A = this chain, B = another copy of it.
Amino acid sequence: MFLGKVIGSVVATKKDETMRGSKLLMVRPMLADVANLGQLKTGANTIVCVDTLGAGEGEMVMFVQGSSARQADGLRAMPVDAAIVGSVDSVHLLGNKAYDSKKS
């Protein structure tokens, strides 16, 4: 899985029948900063993830990719390869609290 930040959403009325009602969020990966390993920095990609947890814009989440995304709650029969599977409370890197949802 990767950490990611929800930066937006996608509306697609015409889509695979099995995906009807799915909420689609734009997620940007968050990585440990090589230059400053106790911190997080934004990655370059943007992934469309199915949201199974009710995440909101700006929220730090954990997402899964590939066939494992279909193991997330309610997604088994869908043609989806990315899903949000956790809402992150905190991230600890090298003894530093790199993220705390209560302070963000």
B8, B13, B28, B31: the one within 8 Å of A46 (CB)? B31
Report the minimal beta-carbon distance from A54 to chain B, rounded to whole angstroms.
Answer: 9
Q: How many copies of this chain sit in the oligomeric assembly?
A: 5
- B-chain residues with CB within 8 Å of residue A16 when the two chains form the complex: 52-53, 72-73, 85-86
Is B88's CB under 8 angstroms from A79's CB? Answer: no
Task: Report Cα–Cα, A38/B67, bound state, in Å.
Answer: 30
Q: Report the bound CA distance from A10 to B3 in whole Å.
A: 9
Q: How far is the CA of A72 from the CA of B2 in the complex (A)?
A: 18
Which residues of chain A have a CB within 8 Å of any CB of chain B?
A: 1-3, 7-19, 24, 26, 28, 31-32, 34, 37, 42, 44-49, 52-53, 57, 62, 64-73, 77-83, 85-95, 98
